[in-house]
Amino acid sequence: MKTKVLKFVATAVGLFAIFSVTTASFFWGNQPNVPSELLEK
């Protein structure tokens, strides 16, 4: 019983980690190019 719970928790944590890293990588890789005029003050 305890091993089933631990296996479920480990799977849930692993899926959450993969989902988080994939989402962050997608948004980091698809950043729009900001024109230099907007960056200068």
The CA distance from 36 to 28, in Å, is 19
Mean pLDDT computed over every residue of the chain: 92
Query: Pick the residue with more confidence: 4 or 37?
Result: 4
- Rg, C-alpha atoms of the chain: 19
Residue 41 has pLDDT above 80, yes or no: no
Q: Tell me the whole-structure pTM to 2 decimals.
A: 0.65
Average pLDDT over residues 2-11: 96
Q: Please list, residue by residue across 8-35, b when 16 or more beta carbons sit within 10 angstroms of its beta carbon and e when fewer do.
A: eeeeeeeeeeeeeeeeeeeeeeeeeeee
The CA distance from 30 to 32, in Å, is 6
Residue 10 has pLDDT above 70, yes or no: yes
* DSSP 3-state of 35: coil
